[in-house]
Amino acid sequence: MGKKQANMKSCLQPMPKVLVSCRGTDGKNNALAVAYCCNCSFDPPMVMVGIVPSRYSYKLVKETGCFVVNLVSKQQKEMFEYLGSHSGKDEDKFSKLNLRVEEGVKVNAPLLSDCPVNIECRVVDSIVTGSHEMFVGKVEFVHADEKLLNDKGEIDFSKIEFL
Ligand SMILES: Cc1cc2nc3c(=O)[nH]c(=O)nc-3n(C[C@H](O)[C@H](O)[C@H](O)COP(=O)(O)O)c2cc1C
């Protein structure tokens, strides 16, 4: 069997799925499911997340210029699905799900306590690529469950059961 032209949309399998949490200038917390997420600089450490302008979270990230990338394991499946299918425009998703949160150490955004890794980011640039705006976030602080860290403080990703 030979090759055939494939659909060009989403031709790379997006990995990993994350939850991006953020906060508005009014103090309201929100989060959404994001598949468009990747490393984009090793030194300094930077990651990029793609958010569609119609999302409620888009407005919050634009307002405060920061966000938190929360890695999601199988245990957070229900939370991931809810946050990825309901909008902060219609309800306070954090109260509805009774989410456990902690304050960012460096940025004004909430961390999702139940997620194994939380990456605090400050927006340093953004590119409108088409349907998504890609926000380049400088990594300001990384929180990880103690059991995931080796003696150099590196995260052992093989210990996370990703969704
Ligand atoms: C698996 C999955 C991946 C998603 N990836 C993205 C994404 O990369 N960017 C985006 O803007 N929305 C993405 N979404 C959709 C948002 O998470 C969804 O529209 C959410 O309800 C928006 O919430 P908000 O309006 O409170 O910000 C994804 C949803 C799912 C279920």
Provide the pLDDT for residue 131: 97
Domain assignments of the chain as residue spans, ordered by start? 18-151
Confidence of residue 69 (pLDDT cuts 50, 70, 90): very high
Please state the atom number of ligand 1 nearest to the C-alpha of residue 88. 26
Asked whether the predicted pLDDT for residue 10 surpasses 80, the reply is no
- Class of the CATH domain delimited by 18-151: mainly beta
Residue 54 DSSP symbol = T
Q: How far is the CA of 69 from the centre of ligand 1 (A)?
A: 13
Phi, psi of 149 (to 5 degrees): -95, 140
Q: How confident is the model at residue 45 (pLDDT cuts 50, 70, 90)?
A: very high
Range with the poorest average pLDDT among 13-17, 125-129, 152-156: 13-17
Helix or strand or coil: residue 130? coil
Are 31 and 94 a contacting pair, CB within 8 Å? yes
Q: Whose CA is nearest to atom 29 of ligand 1?
A: 84
What per-residue confidence (pLDDT) applies to 18?
97
Confidence of residue 5 (pLDDT cuts 50, 70, 90): confident
